[in-house]
Structure 1
Amino acid sequence: MRALIYKSTGSWYTAKGEDGQVYNARVRGAFKVEGLTSTNPIAVGDEVELTPEDEADHVATITEIHDRRNYIARTSPHNKNKHHIVASNVDQTLLFATLKEPRTSQGFLDRFLVSAEAYHVPAVVIFNKCDLFKKKEEELYAELEAMYKAIGYGVLRISLKTGEGVEKLRTQLSNKTSLVSGHSGVGKSTFINTLFPDMELRTQEVSGWSGKGLHTTTFAEMFDLPFNGKIIDTPGIREFGLVDISRQELSHYFPEMRALLNNCQFNNCLHINEPGCAVKTAVESGEIAESRFLSYYSILESIDDKNY
């Protein structure tokens, strides 16, 4: 029978079958998916075939993985030359960010958006704690909102404290499978708690996560929303290690640069000091935001083509 993976703990998986029953499932044999060198062959969001083994205890075996529409991966925490697939078959990824207490850097936002572009997952940036905004934050928010919207990203401001924008965010989640991510302290756990008031214990555990020791879980978990839709929580992601992106292709994952690449004089232009570069001309004219170009340059410098 066909089933959907809701949770992975390494060797065992929680799967919901098309009969509505939740199974504890394990894999039969070895899986290689799309030739990926992945540390986890099956991820949350995967559609699989299940063969029930023990009806009374709801134990089953996974015999096949169906093709993925998309997936998001990060570098494996244990081996930087391998992928760790965070989740698959997602409709959108929501990145929670804050401009105050703590402030999320634009570099982090842009790195995350590059990952979303590379994996063909639409991204929405959620700026939480807008109740704390003073004049400086209001101006910065207006600037970031205009910049990201102009290049095709969704942007939303919310306050979980006052409720501003929360209804809009619920609508954004409706009828979709959404991956939720963000630094510790930006309100992701509080938001999940407002969606699932009965799950306070689990959220408390996540919000107390310090990024050290046992709590740095790399396992995502999916939940059915009280309204139509699903949400995938990723407590362990502080930064996506970019995988399999070469220096040469990085600019393809900046939508505003991608639109200009054919206008560069050289096919292999890295947009740093080559003559006849359309991207640099666009930065000088203000068509591309200078802060986005600086993010591009910073990521470019961090890519080691020897490891690619």
Structure 2
Amino acid sequence: MDGKVYKSTGSWYVVKTPDGVAWNARLKGLFKLDGITSTNPLAVGDEVELEPESEEEQTAIISAIHARHNYINRQSPSHRMQHHIVAANIDQSLLVVTLKEPRTSQGFIDRWLVTCEAYHVPAILLFNKSDLYRHKEEQRFEEWKAMYEAVGYRLIRMSVHTGEGLDEVKSLLQGKISLLSGHSGVGKSSFLNALFPDWQLKTQSVSGWSGKGIHTTTFAEMFDLPGSGQVIDTPGMREFGLVDITKQELSGYFPEMRALAGQCQFNNCLHLGEPGCAVKKAVEEGSIAQHRYISYCTILDSITSPHS
């Protein structure tokens, strides 16, 4: 029978069948996963085939994994040379961003957007805690809103405390499989609780003076939404490392640079100091935001070699 992975705890998986029954399942002992180099062979959102083991205890064996139509991955926090699949088979990815308590950096946002572009997953930015905005945050929000909307990304300003933006996000989630990401402490669990009060997910406030949140979600987990659709809640991330993206490919994942593809004098232009560079010209003329270009250069610099 077919099922979908709702939760992974490493060796055991919660798999739900179309009739809504949840099974505790494990991978078949001699199961070979060809070509999978990630730290987790199975991810939340994967569609699998189950062989019931015990009807009484609701246990089963996962005997096959169906092909993924997409996934989001990141550099494994514990194994720098490996990647970790965050979730598979998703319709959209929502990043919860905060401008204070804690502050999300533009570098983190842009790395996440690059990954969404690389795996063809539509990305939406949710700017939470708008009730905390003062003049400085209002200014930064307006700047970032203009910058990201000009590139084609959707931004939603919201506050769990005042309810701002919640209805808009709620309608976005209906009928879709959505991945929810962000730093620890940005309010993902509070946001889900506000949208769906019956859940009451465990939340903790940002800890102490450091502004670093306590990890409240240990493993990614999928939840069924009232009505239709699912949302995948992920553990809070301190950083987001790119994998499998080369220096030559990177500009193709910045939509404003991709639009100028083929206009540079050199085919292998990295848009740094090469003559006849259309991207550098666009930055000088203001049609590409300087902050986005700086972000591109920083990410480019972090990619170790042209072929890795």
Shorter-chain-normalised TM-score: which range?
A: over 0.9
- Residue correspondences, number: 304
> Aligned pair in 2 of structure 1 residues 290, 306: CA closer, same or farther (>3 Å)?
closer
**Secondary structure in 2 matching 1:299:** helix
Q: CA deviation at 1:140?
A: 2.2
> Residue 19 in 1 paired to residue 19 in 2?
yes
CA distance in 2: counterparts of 1:306 and 1:269, whole angstroms = 12
Q: How far 1:184 moved relative to its partner?
A: 1.8
Gaps of 5+ in 2: none
Structure 1 contact 189–207 (Cα < 8 Å) conserved:
no
**Is the counterpart of residue 280 in structure 1 residue 283 in structure 2?**
no
TM-score by length of 2: 0.92
1:216 to partner: Cα distance: 8.4
1:131 CA drift (Å): 1.8
Q: What amino acid sits opposite 1:90 in the alignment?
A: I
The structure whose residues are more often helix, as a share, is: 1
1:23, distance to aligned residue in structure 2 (A)? 0.3
Q: How does 1:18-57 map to 2 (within 5 A)?
A: 18-28=18-28, 29-32=30-33, 35-57=35-57
* C-alpha displacement of 1:149: 1.4
TM-score when normalising by structure 1: 0.92
Q: State the 1:211 CA deviation.
A: 6.7
* Counterparts in 2 of 1:175 and 1:23: CA distance versus 1, 3 Å: same
**Distance in 2 of aligned mates of 1:31 and 1:288:** 46
- Unaligned runs of 5+ residues in structure 1 are none
Following TM superposition, by how much is the alpha carbon of 1:198 offset from its aligned partner in structure 2, in angstroms?
4.0
Question: What residue identity is the alignment partner of 2:33?
Answer: K
Please state whether the residue corresponding to 1:295 is helix, strand or coil: helix
1:269 aligned partner = 269
Q: How does 1:239-250 map to 2 (within 5 A)?
A: 239-250=239-250
* 1:1-308 mapped onto 2 (5 Å cutoff): 1-28=1-28, 29-32=30-33, 35-200=35-200, 202-204=201-203, 215=215, 219-305=219-305, 308=308
Letter in 2 for 1:219: F
Measured in 2, the distance between the counterparts of 1:26 and 1:162 equals 43
Q: CA deviation at 1:194?
A: 1.7
* Contact 2:93–2:122 (Cα < 8 Å) also in 1: yes
Shift of 1:136: 3.1
The more displaced of 90-99 and 233-242 is 233-242
**CA positional deviation for 1:179:** 0.6
Shift of 1:307: 8.2
2 CA distance for matches of 1:55 and 1:206? Answer: 40
The residue matched to 1:179 in structure 2 has which SS? strand
Q: Displacement of 1:143 after TM fit?
A: 2.0
Q: Structure 1's 259 and 306: CA in aligned 2 closer, same or farther, altered over 3 A? A: closer
CA distance in 2, matches of 1:205, 1:199: 15
Query: Which secondary structure does the structure 1 equivalent of 2:262 belong to?
Result: helix
In the alignment, the residues of structure 2 paired with residue 191 and residue 217 of structure 1 have an alpha-carbon distance, to the nearest angstrom, of 14
Change in Cα spacing, 1:216 to 1:186, as seen in structure 2 (3 Å) is closer
Q: CA deviation at 1:73?
A: 0.8
Tell me if structure 2 keeps the 8 A contact 1:112–1:239.
no
Kept in 2: contact 1:81–1:307 (CA 8 A):
no
Cα distance in 2 for residues equivalent to 1:216 and 1:175 = 26
- Counterparts of 1:20 and 1:191, CA distance in 2: 25
One-letter amino acid of the structure 2 residue matched with residue 204 of structure 1: T
